[in-house]
């Protein structure tokens, strides 16, 4: 019998039901009661997609966060700020701006923990309009790009350009499909299965290393692709690029 708390198919089933829930919201809102259990922690898709090895503390591991200067971290599509809140607790000199829909921002503002409320602010914003926060140090996207085709993902990256300062970092927490045989059979099956689900249900996809590099190159050659980091035990990876408008090297090389 299928047990949603222990099955190895949990992640794929969660994805399918989450997408079906979106369809129901549009077509049959009266049927949503059948799918409310999706909201429970064990079936939280954005948590399950990362795996137990994904820790917010890993986000800034490639950056220098020491010193007296305040840095700015923009969490694009950051929901209620759960990632930013955890990072803020270990980086008290940083300021965090969490961007999402108006409904989500209203909810988030009502539940900010006291210990980080001076570090966090919330802003209504969508992915495809010009980024209003200019000159930030980091623009962070967690499990956003796998929901969209290359056309819309490029549009998301280009919406950042006018806001970017030289050296601004773009950090994406998402799936990076490894070469065949590079990980366990189960992990590879899970990733490729999720890729099929995203293709079939959302006209989207998971990407491998070369596809991530190509995505930044398609958006603008001034994005310098820095590579991919995968924390031990995590299904999600950190895909990183830097805005280098004065760099003569083209990010089309796809190198690190």
Q: Which tokens is 6 given?
A: 């222990």
Would you please indicate which residues are annotated as catalytic (active-site) residues?
146
């Amino acid at each position: 019998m299928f047990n949603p708390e222990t099955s190895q198919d949990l992640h794929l089933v969660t994805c399918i039901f989450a997408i079906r829930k979106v369809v129901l919201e549009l077509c049959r809102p009266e049927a949503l009661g059948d799918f409310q259990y999706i909201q429970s922690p064990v079936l939280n898709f954005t948590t399950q997609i990362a795996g137990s090895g994904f820790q917010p503390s890993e986000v800034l591991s490639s950056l220098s966060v020491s010193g007296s200067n305040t840095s700015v971290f923009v969490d694009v599509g950051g929901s209620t700020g759960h990632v930013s809140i955890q990072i803020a607790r270990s980086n008290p000199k940083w300021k965090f701006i969490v961007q999402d829909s108006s409904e989500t921002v209203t909810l988030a503002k009502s539940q900010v923990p006291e210990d980080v409320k001076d570090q966090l602010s919330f802003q209504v914003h969508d992915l495809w309009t010009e980024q209003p926060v200019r000159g930030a140090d980091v623009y962070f996207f967690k499990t956003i790009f796998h929901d969209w085709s290359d056309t819309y993902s490029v549009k998301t990256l280009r919406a950042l350009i006018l806001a970017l300062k030289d050296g601004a970092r773009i950090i994406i927490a998402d799936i990076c499909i490894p070469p065949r045989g590079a990980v366990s059979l189960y992990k590879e099956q899970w990733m490729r299965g999720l890729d099929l689900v995203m293709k079939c249900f959302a006209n989207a996809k998971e990407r491998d290393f070369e596809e991530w590099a190509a995505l930044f190159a398609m958006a603008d050659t001034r994005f310098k692709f820095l590579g991919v980091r995968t924390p031990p035990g995590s299904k999600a990876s950190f895909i990183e690029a830097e805005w280098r408008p004065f760099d003569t090297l083209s990010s089309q090389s796809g190198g690190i």
